[in-house]
Structure 1
């Protein structure tokens, strides 16, 4: 469960906000019952949240009797998040409200291999243009969320040994992006910047928007490489240093001949990723440059592409049998270039053939709902969760209005 435990006797304004944001309390009466605080204390702390512009009231809520109670809601329009999705060959940026609603969005061709200086400076310019297009003052930006196609140390925001991001290893993404936004949009240099792996953020966005009741959710992104994002009880599971979900580098026992971009042999990504299929099709006389090109071949019904995609899905399914058995998720989602293709057919075939019925009887195998926007929505959720967590919310309120009452 996100946030703090319910029933804390000294619940602060930040704790009350968390109860409202997560739907555990929606009226003043609910807050009194859940926290044990008096009506006057609840009122004082709500006053702080209203003064900051973080809450709004909605009339007409269901009441147990008498006049309708007033429903309390987190106001997603009081601030915006700048979100970016860095892919291998393109860069997507957007301005979103705190509920993940896109206010302005733009995508450009941009090689991530061009390096962090070039990419992040261009991103700063895109953010400035999008703020102008959406009519949003830069002062309304509460944070920036960035999705990258590589492993990330979430605490530092630095990319760690990324196979397909030359020049990014250990680079100070947060500081450079703060500088770029200040140069292009006149923002303060301390706008919070959070960075995470693309599969993690796609999983977070999809789970929050479409499967909020699913306590164990797995997303597999199949594009240039193969990666997985895992959301447990509403939170992205990153492992101890951001390495969780590196599905594409699990070794296949019978493909020691397949060299991966990481330098090893036999990795799943070297056999079943979009890049691997592009290479296989090219070798068969069907020139194909990327995972998106593979998707075009599949859309056209090219026979070799159809066969190879299904076989790749089966190889991925072999690995996912272990994932499903270990995590027992309620939803397994396939996203990326090979979603909505014969790849998914292959995954389903192997998964249901080899996994125990106990592991799959309540499992939904689905494809992406948010499509290209999943990473943007997930980045927004990451920033919002971080900035409005109870302790951090209280610290921000203290800066706005002075010390928070206990």
Structure 2
């Protein structure tokens, strides 16, 4: 089954006698904030059921090792909260059929937004990040938070009305912004293309409007989270690269988003690029990758050759019509990005690199350059099983990641247990 953005939806297959053993469950536990928990609480039981596989009380008792009466109490609490529903019955072999219980993804809804330099994608999703309604709007992030955030709030409310939903059903809101964000506070930190946003309390503004938790992160981090959760859930070590007006990266390490000490991980665009010389960058430094290999940099190079190009979209259009100059510059940009990524491959050893953003819509021209440089510059051991692929979620990656970020928080075992208590 195809999901949003062409992603392949995957649902684990579990037999009627519950293929996940009690030993496996207790060995892996539930990882939360660096701790491994046993399957004891209602929140942890919900964590198990979130894979979408219906299970009977007997199966849940077997998997968790809890007493049947305890499982019944945990399920009753989740049923009362609407987080779990009865998903049908097993075929009876004599006596009363055993009821099966399944995660209710429509129990609550999530508000999600990815804000770019000149546009935003907003959605209302269920608790699996699947959009119920979605809208793309034009805006200018340089107008500042006092202009942009009210637009997001107004659009979310319009989407809720369009879907016939009520704000009381909202579990949380998530926003991706096109600049550095201190995730723990939700405040942008000296974003180069976002005047007026520095240290602005984005999280507090949204939380006060809807009365729910609000989370904020860099848009490329959320692209990485979106690609990982919806398209590549089995990949444990991933780099997701966005090449558009700017260049950034998000890292998935051991299956989790890696933000770094203060949320600054993945600032690929401001690494010094080979052969970039002293080309000035908007960050204030010179010779940055973004200054020579981004969509805006290529557009500027084309204008210098007398070709009408002003944006990444213009560059892609020229490549698609067979313009030789545009094609050569995009291929060169891919090689330059690949040379910087080769360092990341040596340091991080990913199994998957996903390339997205507007310029990636130029197709194999950009990807071929990236692959060429990485395979030339990296050790064979690091590239032996490395895949370098285009984005599968496309324009939806960031908004899917924003929803996933909120869901990971509001459905974490500790938060669920506090709410049930």
TM-score, normalised with respect to structure 1: 0.90
Specify the alignment match of 2:419 in structure 1: 396
Aligned match of 1:221 in 242, 254, 271?
242
Partner of 1:15: 44
Report how far residue 24 of structure 1 moved.
9.6
Following the alignment from structure 1 to structure 2, what is the Cα–Cα distance between the partners of residues 218 and 85?
Answer: 19
Contiguous gaps of at least 5 residues in structure 2: 1-27
* Inter-CA distance 392–170: structure 2 relative to 1 (3 Å threshold): same
Q: Deviations over 1:157-204 (max 9, x none)?
A: 11111111111110011222345xx4xxxx4xx221111111111111
Residue of structure 1 equivalent to 2:372:
349
Partner of 2:17: none
| Deviation, structure 1 residue 279 | 1.0
Work out whether residues 83 and 144 of structure 1, in 8 Å CA contact, stay in contact via their aligned partners in 2.
yes
2:294 corresponds to which of 273, 277, 290: 273
| Equivalent-residue separation in structure 1 for 2:138 and 2:118 (angstroms) | 6
2:345 & 2:390 partners in 1: Cα distance? 16
**How far, CA to CA, are the matches of 1:340 and 1:128 in structure 2?**
32
Are residues 1:59 and 2:88 paired? yes
| Contact 1:151–1:160, Cα closer than 8 Å, also in 2 | yes
Q: Secondary structure at the match of 2:241?
A: strand
For 1:40-79, what per-residue CA distance to the aligned partner results, in whole angstroms no more than 9, with x for missing partners? 0011011101110001232367999999865432211111
Contact 1:223 1:338 in 2 (8 A): yes
Shift of the alpha carbon at 1:282? 1.2
Mark the CA change 1:63 to 1:385 in structure 2 (over 3 Å): closer, same or farther: farther
- Distance in 2 (CA, whole Å) between partners of 1:208 and 1:69 is 32
SS of 1:191's equivalent in the other structure is coil
Query: What's 1:379 paired with?
Result: 402
Instruction: Name the SS for the 1:221 alignment partner.
Output: strand
**Does the aligned pair in 1 maintain the 2:122–2:156 contact within 8 Å?**
yes
Identify the residue that residue 31 of structure 2 maps to in structure 1: 3
Aligned to 1:256: 277
**Alignment size in residue pairs:** 389
| The one of 87, 92, 117 aligned to 1:88 | 117
The alpha carbon displacement at 1:26 in A equals 4.5
Distance 1:74 1:238 in 2: 29
RMSD between aligned residues: 2.3
Within 5 A, what are the aligned runs for 1:5-404?
Answer: 8=38, 11-22=40-51, 26-59=55-88, 70-179=99-208, 182=209, 187=210, 190-341=211-362, 342-398=365-421
| Alpha-carbon shift at residue 379 of structure 1 (Å) | 0.8
- Relative to structure 1, is the Cα distance of residues 172 and 226 closer, same or farther in structure 2, using a 3 angstrom cutoff? same
Distance, in Å, in 1 between the alignment partners of 2:102 and 2:343 is 41
- SS of residue matched to 2:360: coil
| Cα distance change, pair 151–67 in 1 and its aligned pair in 2 (3 A) | farther
Measured at CA, do residues 250 and 27 of structure 1 come closer, stay the same or move farther in structure 2, by a change above 3 Å? farther
4+ aligned runs moved over 4 Å, structure 1: 4-7, 22-27, 60-71
Counterpart-to-counterpart distance in 2, 1:98 and 1:270 = 39
After superposition, the Cα gap between the structure-2 partners of 1:61 and 1:346, relative to the gap in structure 1 and judged at 3 Å, is: farther
TM-score by length of 2: 0.87
Whether the 8 Å CA contact 1:295–1:338 is kept in 2: the answer is yes
Contact 2:54–2:100 (8 Å) recurs in 1 = no
- Give the Cα–Cα distance (whole angstroms) in 2 for the partners of residues 299 and 275 of structure 1: 17
Distance in 2 (alpha carbons) for counterparts of 1:352 and 1:87 = 31
1:354–1:40 CA distance, 2 compared to 1 (3 A): same
SS in 2 for 1:167: coil
Quickly say closer, same or farther: Cα 1:253–1:368, change in 2 above 3 A: closer
Q: How far apart are residue 25 of structure 1 and its match?
A: 9.4
CA contact (8 A) 2:175 2:217 kept: yes
Output the CA distance in 1 between the equivalents of 2:37 and 2:250. 31
